C-alpha cells in the first residue's frame, strides 16, 4: 500500500508542477496570418454617362466597364480610401498600371499631373475650414486631404483620402449641366478642380476672419492672445499653403496637354484664374500674420520692460529704510539723535518722507 502511494505521488507530482509552470509561462500559440481587411465601402458611387446624362441606377464597376466602351459613353467611379485589395481589383477591370495602384492607395500626395500609359493622373489637395469658438494653442483651423483623378478615354476614377473634399455635391452639380457632362471624362476633372478652388476661396475667407479677430484681440486693452496661438495658426497656414500653391504648375501643364477637349479649355482657364486669386490671398495671410506677430512680440517686450521698471522703482523705495536702518544698526556711541527722545520718530519720519517723495516721483514718471 505504501509503495503504491509512493509511485502515484512520483507520477502525479511532476505533472502538477509541469501544469503549474505552463500556467505561469503559457506556450506560445501558433501565429496565424491575419487576413488583410477588405474595404467594400470604398466604392462611393459608380455611374455610366451617355450624351450628357446619367443612366438610371448604380452599377458595379465590372459591369460598367463592359457597358462603357461604346462611343460617347464613359464611367465615373468614385472611391474613398480604398485598400490594396479593392484597388487591385479595379486596376484589373480598368487595365491600370501597377504604379497607379500604389499611388492611389496611400494618401498625402502633393498636387501633380502626370501621364502613365493612356491614363492621366491629376492630384489635387482638398481643404475645409474647421469651426472653432476661439483660437488656442491646439486649435485645428484647416483640415486637408487629397483627391486623385485617373482620366482615361472612356472612364474617370476619383480616389479621395481624408474627410475634406466630399465629391458627392460635385457629381450632383455636374449632372445638372449636361452640356459640360457630355464632353467626356475631362469634364469630371474640371468639375473637381472647380470645386477644390471654390473650397480654397471659402477657407481663405474664413481664415481672414480669424486673422481680423486675432488682430483685434492683439490691440485691445485687455489680455492679448498668447504667442503659442500665433504659431499654431502659422502651422495651419503652412498646411493650407501646401494645398493651394503647388496646384498652379499642374494646371498650367494641363492646358498644354492634348487630352482635354477644346470646349473645356475656357473652363480650365477660369479655374486657373480663380486659383491665382486664392494664391494671392494665402500669400497675403503670411504677411498679415507676421505683422500681427511682430506687434504682439513688441507688446511682450514692452510688458517686460514695464515689469523691470516697476521692480527697479520698488527696489529704490525699499533701499531708503534699508540704508538708514543699516547705518543706525552699527551701534556707534556718537550717532545723530541717538540720545534724544525724538531720535527714533525723527528717523521714521525721514524714512516716510523720502519714500513718499520717491513714490510720487516714480508714479508721475510712469514707473509705478
Radius of gyration for the chain, computed over Cα atoms and rounded to the nearest angstrom: 38
Q: Is 141 domain-assigned?
A: yes
Are residue 147 and residue 275 in the same domain, yes or no? Answer: yes
Question: What pLDDT band is residue 1 in, cutting at 50, 70 and 90?
Answer: very low
Statement: residue 178 has pLDDT above 50: yes
Are residue 184 and residue 196 in the same domain, yes or no? Answer: yes
Q: Is 159 domain-assigned?
A: yes
Are residue 232 and residue 360 in the same domain, yes or no? Answer: no
Q: Is 282 domain-assigned?
A: yes
Q: Is 92 domain-assigned?
A: yes
Regarding predicted confidence, which is higher, 352 or 213?
352
Contact 126, 243 (CB under 8 A): yes
Are residue 88 and residue 153 in the same domain, yes or no? Answer: yes
Statement: residue 109 has pLDDT above 80: yes
Contact 223, 296 (CB under 8 A): no
pLDDT at 202: 93
Contact 346, 324 (CB under 8 A): no
Write down which residue in 275, 300, 325 finishes a domain: 300
Contact 39, 81 (CB under 8 A): yes
Q: Is 144 domain-assigned?
A: yes
Among 246, 266, 87, residue whose Cα is nearest residue 186: 266
Q: By CB neighbour count within 10 A (0-12 exposed, 13-18 middle, 19+ buried), where does 314 fall?
A: middle
Statement: residue 52 has pLDDT above 50: yes
Are residue 65 and residue 165 in the same domain, yes or no? Answer: yes
Regarding predicted confidence, which is higher, 259 or 331?
259
Are residue 358 and residue 287 in the same domain, yes or no? Answer: no
CATH number for 320: 1.20.58
For residue 137 the three cell numbers come to 494653442
Statement: residue 15 has pLDDT above 70: no
Among 328, 322, 333, residue whose Cα is nearest residue 343: 328
Measure the N-to-C terminal CA separation of the chain; round to a whole number of Å.
103
Regarding predicted confidence, which is higher, 86 or 221?
86
Q: Is 59 domain-assigned?
A: yes
Q: Is 290 domain-assigned?
A: yes
Are residue 186 and residue 229 in the same domain, yes or no? Answer: yes
User: For the segment 333-342, what is each residue's pLDDT rounded down to a tens digit?
Assistant: 777 777 777 7
Give whole-number Cα distances, 367 to 302, 308, 361, in Å: 12, 9, 9
pLDDT at 12: 41
Instruction: Give the separation between CA 131 and CA 143, rounded to whole angstroms.
Output: 10
Q: What does the pLDDT average to over 310-326?
A: 84
pLDDT at 108: 85
Task: Please count the structural domains in the chain.
Answer: 2
Contact 186, 261 (CB under 8 A): yes
Q: Is 6 domain-assigned?
A: no
Amino acid at each position: 500500500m505504501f509503495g503504491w502511494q509512493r509511485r502515484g505521488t512520483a507520477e502525479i507530482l511532476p505533472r502538477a508542477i509541469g501544469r503549474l509552470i505552463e500556467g505561469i509561462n503559457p506556450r506560445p500559440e501558433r501565429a496565424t496570418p491575419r487576413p488583410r481587411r477588405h474595404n467594400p465601402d470604398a466604392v462611393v458611387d459608380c455611374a455610366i454617362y451617355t450624351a450628357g446624362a446619367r443612366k438610371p441606377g448604380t452599377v458595379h464597376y465590372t459591369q460598367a466597364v463592359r457597358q462603357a466602351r461604346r462611343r460617347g459613353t464613359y464611367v465615373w467611379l468614385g472611391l474613398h480610401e480604398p485598400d490594396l485589395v479593392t484597388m487591385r481589383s479595379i486596376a484589373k477591370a480598368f487595365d491600370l498600371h501597377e504604379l497607379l495602384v500604389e499611388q492611389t492607395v496611400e494618401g498625402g500626395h502633393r498636387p501633380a499631373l502626370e501621364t502613365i500609359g493612356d491614363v492621366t493622373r491629376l492630384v489635387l489637395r482638398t481643404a475645409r475650414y474647421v469651426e472653432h469658438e476661439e483660437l488656442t494653442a491646439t486649435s485645428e483651423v484647416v483640415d486637408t486631404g487629397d483627391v486623385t483623378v485617373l482620366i482615361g478615354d472612356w472612364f474617370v476614377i476619383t480616389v479621395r483620402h481624408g474627410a475634406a473634399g466630399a465629391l458627392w455635391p460635385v457629381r450632383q452639380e455636374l449632372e445638372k449641366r449636361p452640356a459640360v457632362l457630355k464632353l467626356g471624362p475631362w469634364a469630371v476633372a474640371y468639375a473637381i478642380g472647380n470645386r477644390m478652388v471654390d473650397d480654397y476661396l471659402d477657407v481663405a475667407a474664413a481664415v481672414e476672419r480669424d486673422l481680423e479677430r486675432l488682430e483685434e484681440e492683439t490691440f485691445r486693452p485687455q489680455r492679448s492672445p498668447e504667442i503659442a496661438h500665433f504659431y499654431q495658426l502659422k502651422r495651419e497656414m503652412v498646411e493650407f499653403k501646401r494645398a493651394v500653391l503647388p496646384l498652379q504648375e499642374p494646371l498650367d501643364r494641363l492646358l498644354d496637354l492634348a487630352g482635354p477637349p477644346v470646349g473645356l479649355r475656357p473652363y480650365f482657364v477660369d479655374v486657373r484664374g480663380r486659383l491665382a486669386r486664392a494664391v494671392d490671398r494665402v500669400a497675403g495671410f503670411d504677411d498679415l500674420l507676421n505683422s500681427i506677430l511682430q506687434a504682439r512680440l513688441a507688446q511682450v517686450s514692452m510688458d517686460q520692460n514695464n515689469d523691470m521698471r516697476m521692480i527697479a522703482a520698488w527696489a529704490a523705495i525699499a533701499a531708503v529704510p534699508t540704508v538708514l536702518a543699516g547705518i543706525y544698526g552699527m551701534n556707534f556711541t556718537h550717532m545723530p539723535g541717538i540720545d534724544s527722545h525724538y531720535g527714533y520718530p525723527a528717523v521714521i519720519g525721514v524714512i516716510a518722507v523720502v519714500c513718499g517723495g520717491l513714490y510720487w516721483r516714480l508714479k508721475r514718471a510712469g514707473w509705478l
